[in-house]
Amino acid sequence: MAGERARRGARVKRYDRAYFDRWYRDPSSRVHDARSVARKASFALSAAEYLLERSVRTVLDVGCGEGSWGVALRRLRPTLRYTGVDDSAYVVRRFGKRRNIVRGTVGTLGELALDGPYDLVVCSDVLHYVRAGEVARGLPALAALVGDGAAYVDFFTSADSVEGDMRGFLRRPPSFYERALDDAGLEACGLNVYVAR
């Protein structure tokens, strides 16, 4: 029993400083840099503003990591109110107050005291690491937080060629996400943009 717990503990993925240094800062292994995040953030912001027919004022970023989307979005809209949600104790300790990041997961979204709905809800590069039950619990809560705004939700599937952090990657068919998003009440607009039904 103790050996089984130790093996499970060894497999636990730690989103600590070493993780973010490796995947976000080390030029030899990083999968995202500030420019690529800025391009995605600019696109998501533009799509949401097109649908809202006004400027985005509030953003929720689920699985936000160190809040790099918040930094990019505030460069474009300095008065924007950004809230991040992440399960990393390191992230909340280091960036929580400065970047408005609270502790939580996709599955606990409905339990958090979030000040929604939001003009834009972001869940980028997260769902393919989240167990199916947590996806099923979290996406309806995410849809409720979208309100009349838009969501930017991107993920990798078994049909994609993936580089980077493969630890805990759940290789699912595209149909899994299509069904989960539809069941949650999110309608696809194209290019990873969704609106609540």
- pLDDT on residue 108: 98
Is the residue at 12 inside a domain? no
Is the residue at 17 inside a domain? no
For residue 83, how many other CB atoms are within 10 A of its CB?
23
What's the number of domains the chain is made of? 1
pLDDT tens for each residue of 104-138: 999 999 999 999 999 999 999 999 999 999 999 99
Is the residue at 7 inside a domain? no
Which secondary-structure segment (H or E) carries 151?
A: strand 150-154
**DSSP secondary structure of 4-15:** HHHHHHHH----
Is the residue at 25 inside a domain? no
Is the residue at 125 inside a domain? yes
Say whether 155 sits in a helix, a strand or coil: coil
Is the residue at 130 inside a domain? yes
Is the residue at 142 inside a domain? yes
Average pLDDT over residues 34-41: 94
**Percentage with pLDDT > 90 across the chain:** 79
Is the residue at 168 inside a domain? yes
CATH (domain of 168)? 3.40.50.150
pTM for the model stands at 0.89
**Phi, psi of 42, deg, nearest 5:** -65, -45
Strand 150-154 and strand 193-196: the pairing is antiparallel
**Phi, psi of 119, deg, nearest 5:** -70, -35
**Domain region containing 99:** 32-196
Average pLDDT over residues 86-103: 96
pLDDT tens for each residue of 40-85: 999 999 999 999 999 999 999 999 999 999 999 999 999 999 999 9
- pLDDT on residue 17: 76
